Chains A and B, each alone.
Chain A
Amino acid sequence: MQLTRRQMLTLTAGVAGMAVIGLPFDLALAAVEDTEKAIMDFTGGKKPETGKITLTAPEIAENGNTVPVSISVDSAMSGDDMVDSVIIFAEGNPNPQVATFRFSELSGSAEATTRMRLAKTQNVIAVAKMKDGSVFIDKKQVKVTIGGCGG
């Protein structure tokens, strides 16, 4: 049977080993310290370096309810050069941890895309943990605006 892209995505969404948490309210005080702590929990206390991981997100969200975010890690995905997992945070959300992606050699490449809800302007942060224990970070501010007076 020929699978269309749409069917394919429906299937993979069903079996994906990731958890996406969207929070529909704007309390958002937890913010920066919670995110810092959660990053340290993820890395085992190691300070992540920039490089290797690229986070792609819009500068300004078209719709704060569903903001597309992609991560990509520069890795051979074999032998010692393996990505273990990538975690995404939304610094201004009440519970900043948004998604965790786990990878294996069968992943082929360490890339993933998801969508998240952002109630207000904030930093989105992605941290990659490699099999050898090294950790990398990328961050981008995503602005959420009222919109409507340009032109």
Chain B
Amino acid sequence: MINRREFLMATVALSAIAGPDFRGGWSKASAQQMLSEDDLLSMDGVGTVTLIHITDIHAQVKPLYFREPSINLGVGEVKGLPPHVTGADFLKLYNIEPGSPQAYALTSEDFVSLAKSYGRMGGLDRVATIVKRIRADRGEDNVLLLDGGDTWQGSYTANQTAGADMVELMNALSPDAMTGHWEFTYGAERVKELVDGLPFSFLGGNIYDAEWNEPAFEAWKMFEKGGVKVAVIGQAFPYTPIANPRWMFPDWSFGIREEDVIKNVADARAAGADVVVLLSHNGFDVDRKMASRVEGIDVILTGHTHDALPEPVIVNQTLVIASGSNGKFVSRVDLDVRGGKVQGYGHRLIPVFSDVIAPDAEMTALIDKVRAPYEAELARELGRTDSLLYRRGNFNGTFDDLFCDALLSEREADISLSPGFRWGASLLPGQAITVEDLHSACAMTYPAAYRSMMTGTTIKDILEDVADNLFNTDPYYQQGGDMVRLGGMGYTIDINQPIGSRISGMTLLKSGEAIEAGRDYAVAGWASVNEATEGPPIWDVVEAHLAKNPVVTVNENHSVKVIA
């Protein structure tokens, strides 16, 4: 394990950018164990240009609890490097005091008791306050607000309105550009309709017309801010047609397309860009690799893998900025640009403590307006949890355990599968489970809970395939997300093996017997990417399960054995 001193020395040595360091702001707050809005938002400006980055909101517009992962393993060259550092190691690496507000915001350590002290995070009205404050401090014409995507999907209301509620709310923040991923799961026609109505650019240099192999979206856009030309290149999630249903947008092809990023950087520089920003939904490891291979990108605003890092990771001369998810964080990046070059930077990962940052009244009113038709349904209680329910973790999450249990019982299956999504709110022990909470973990356009017979071989192939998406040593072959969650079955995974050799010891939990390659098992799951998948929506399955089992207790899950 690399220690913090070595890590900082390594990044400083790699970096030709000498930027002031803003860790002090958080340390001070931590020492006082008290926070004010000013502690979180005041910052001495650097240079003339400021980027504000928010990403992977997943339609979470109200403050929520969101537990960061306790396990997030990296493989190959990035083993043990951020963001593959969690818990106490994370606190040590970034010199964060256990029990402090930042420890609560950034790790899973002592989550439940800290959640009670520090409260909910996020809320788009708090985000609005932050954005307005930065614009006021820095000057409206000197700030770019950039949305990394996964913005329009992930809530009951977003699903009911096919993204319209999020478009309306985000438009009120006046972003300068966005890119996307889950946005595409509303289908090509809806995406075109929503994108056409945006008062800003939806950028995606890696989205092509599948038939004619030509760019389908605007790749990049030049902005003049603070007397500086800033080019923003959009990079949508490269594996959208693989991780999500391609049949919903059959005419669009994605991909990493590094050669296009190189070309777009060159074009932007040729057009006079002083600063080149990649607004990316690649995922952290893909962006780190891209920064090491593509010259001329000053800042990568990374998204997709939901990592929140209190400092930039600097690769060659590129700042890689990870701004978390679910509205929990906003990043501010100040750039000192002189002579056509970035000479220095300032950075602050702003944790959106909802009890500290005052909500912006206009945005609160707008949020209330878009939610009004659905408020009664959103608040309807389906049950209560005695356990902490959360999503994040490489191999399981307690919210997923609930889904897997519901699938096993309601669909009368031997084995259940639940995708390794990283979005969805956490619920504290004692909280009611409302329709809103349930949908924050499953709101999507392909929710059918299928039931089908699969052989042991097929199940192993699926596990191997997903494991390789997560643990391939070449980040360009990784798709993000986490391991598919299983109910009714245990297994052992050796993450350092190649595809085909990672999974062993597959066991049917109800009998304790080994899974047989040639035998058929009844498997229930949801969110299949295949067209015409049949079954009730997953939320109906979980609701029916909760009706019979209204108090949720999830025991610690020991069914996956990990060799790392």
A residues contacting B by CB (< 8 A) are 5-6, 54, 56, 58-60, 62-63, 68, 113, 121, 141, 143, 145-151
Which partner residue on chain A sits nearest B212 by CB separation?
A5
Taking CB atoms, residues of chain B closer than 8 Å to A147 are 239, 242-243, 465, 529
Known A59-B477, A151-B181, A151-B243; 14 more pairs at CB < 8 Å: A56-B259, A58-B255, A58-B256, A59-B474, A60-B239, A60-B242, A62-B255, A63-B241, A68-B213, A68-B253, A148-B529, A149-B243, A149-B419, A149-B466
Are A146 and B244 also in contact (CB < 8 A) when A5-B212, A60-B479 are?
no
CA of A143 to CA of B498, assembled, Å: 13
Interface string of B420-438 (1 = CB under 8 A from A): 1111000000000000000
| Interface assignment of B246: CB less than 8 Å from any CB of chain A | yes
Taking CB atoms, residues of chain A closer than 8 Å to B419 are 148-151
Interface string of B245-271 (1 = CB under 8 A from A): 010000001111001000000000000
Q: How far is the CB of B376 from chain A (nearest CB, A)?
A: 29
| Interface assignment of B476: CB less than 8 Å from any CB of chain A | yes
CA of A66 to CA of B268, assembled, Å: 32
Are A149 and B253 also in contact (CB < 8 A) when A59-B477, A60-B239, A60-B479 are?
no
Q: Is the CB of A146 within 8 A of B422?
A: no
| Interface assignment of B174: CB less than 8 Å from any CB of chain A | no
Q: Is the CB of A150 within 8 A of B481?
A: yes
Taking CB atoms, residues of chain A closer than 8 Å to B422 are 151
Q: Is the CB of B244 within 8 A of A150?
A: yes
| Interface assignment of B462: CB less than 8 Å from any CB of chain A | yes
Taking CB atoms, residues of chain B closer than 8 Å to A54 are 259
Q: Is the CB of B477 within 8 A of A150?
A: no
CA of A20 to CA of B255, assembled, Å: 24
| B interface secondary structure, majority | loop
Q: How far is the CB of B186 from chain A (nearest CB, A)?
A: 14
Q: How far is the CB of B246 from chain A (nearest CB, A)?
A: 6
Those 4 A-B pairs whose CB atoms lie nearest each other, nearest first: A150-B243, A148-B529, A150-B481, A150-B479
Which partner residue on chain B sits nearest A66 by CB separation?
B210
B residues contacting A by CB (< 8 A) are 181-182, 210, 212-213, 238-239, 241-244, 246, 253-256, 259, 419-423, 461-462, 465-466, 468-469, 474, 476-477, 479-481, 484, 499, 527-530
Q: Is the CB of A149 within 8 A of B461?
A: no
Which partner residue on chain B sits nearest A70 by CB separation?
B213
CA of A58 to CA of B484, assembled, Å: 24
Cross-chain pairs A/B with CB under 8 angstroms, 30 sampled: A59-B238, A59-B256, A59-B476, A59-B477, A60-B477, A62-B210, A62-B253, A62-B255, A63-B241, A68-B253, A113-B213, A121-B499, A145-B468, A145-B469, A146-B461, A147-B242, A148-B243, A148-B527, A148-B530, A149-B243, A149-B419, A149-B420, A149-B469, A150-B243, A150-B419, A150-B481, A151-B181, A151-B182, A151-B419, A151-B420
CA of A24 to CA of B107, assembled, Å: 49
Q: How far is the CB of A24 from chain B (nearest CB, A)?
A: 20
Taking CB atoms, residues of chain B closer than 8 Å to A141 are 477
Taking CB atoms, residues of chain B closer than 8 Å to A151 are 181-182, 243-244, 419-423, 480-481
**Contacts between the two chains (Cβ within 8 Å), count:** 82
Taking CB atoms, residues of chain A closer than 8 Å to B462 are 146
CA of A141 to CA of B259, assembled, Å: 16
CA of A149 to CA of B419, assembled, Å: 5
Q: Is the CB of A150 within 8 A of B239?
A: yes
Taking CB atoms, residues of chain A closer than 8 Å to B530 are 148
CA of A121 to CA of B529, assembled, Å: 20
Q: Is the CB of A143 within 8 A of B213?
A: no
CA of A122 to CA of B506, assembled, Å: 27
Q: How far is the CB of B538 from chain A (nearest CB, A)?
A: 14
Q: How far is the CB of A145 from chain B (nearest CB, A)?
A: 5
Q: How far is the CB of A139 from chain B (nearest CB, A)?
A: 14
Q: How far is the CB of B56 from chain A (nearest CB, A)?
A: 10
Which partner residue on chain B sits nearest A146 by CB separation?
B465
Q: Which of A6, A68, A145 contacts B465 (CB 8 A)?
A: A145
Q: Is the CB of B481 within 8 A of A63?
A: no
Q: Is the CB of B480 within 8 A of A149?
A: no
Which partner residue on chain A sits nearest B421 by CB separation?
A151
Taking CB atoms, residues of chain A closer than 8 Å to B461 are 146
CA of A60 to CA of B479, assembled, Å: 9
Taking CB atoms, residues of chain B closer than 8 Å to A145 are 242, 465, 468-469
Taking CB atoms, residues of chain B closer than 8 Å to A62 are 210, 241-242, 246, 253-255
Q: How far is the CB of A43 from chain B (nearest CB, A)?
A: 26
Taking CB atoms, residues of chain A closer than 8 Å to B210 are 62
Which partner residue on chain B sits nearest A147 by CB separation?
B242
Q: How far is the CB of B456 from chain A (nearest CB, A)?
A: 16
Chain A CB within 10 Å — which of B212, B242, B246 has the most? Answer: B242
Q: How far is the CB of A58 from chain B (nearest CB, A)?
A: 5
Which partner residue on chain A sits nearest B446 by CB separation?
A148
CA of A57 to CA of B555, assembled, Å: 46
CA of A118 to CA of B461, assembled, Å: 18
Which partner residue on chain B sits nearest A57 by CB separation?
B255
CA of A12 to CA of B479, assembled, Å: 37
CA of A63 to CA of B251, assembled, Å: 12
Q: How far is the CB of A64 from chain B (nearest CB, A)?
A: 11
Taking CB atoms, residues of chain A closer than 8 Å to B484 are 149
Taking CB atoms, residues of chain A closer than 8 Å to B253 are 62, 68
CA of A61 to CA of B368, assembled, Å: 43
CA of A113 to CA of B212, assembled, Å: 11
Q: How far is the CB of A54 from chain B (nearest CB, A)?
A: 8
Q: How far is the CB of A7 from chain B (nearest CB, A)?
A: 13
CA of A63 to CA of B461, assembled, Å: 18
Taking CB atoms, residues of chain B closer than 8 Å to A143 are 468, 477
Q: How far is the CB of B309 from chain A (nearest CB, A)?
A: 20
CA of A56 to CA of B430, assembled, Å: 54
Taking CB atoms, residues of chain B closer than 8 Å to A60 are 239, 242, 255, 477, 479
Which partner residue on chain A sits nearest B420 by CB separation?
A149
Which partner residue on chain A sits nearest B480 by CB separation?
A150
CA of A143 to CA of B465, assembled, Å: 10
Taking CB atoms, residues of chain B closer than 8 Å to A146 are 461-462, 465
Chain B CB within 10 Å — which of A60, A113, A121 has the most? Answer: A60
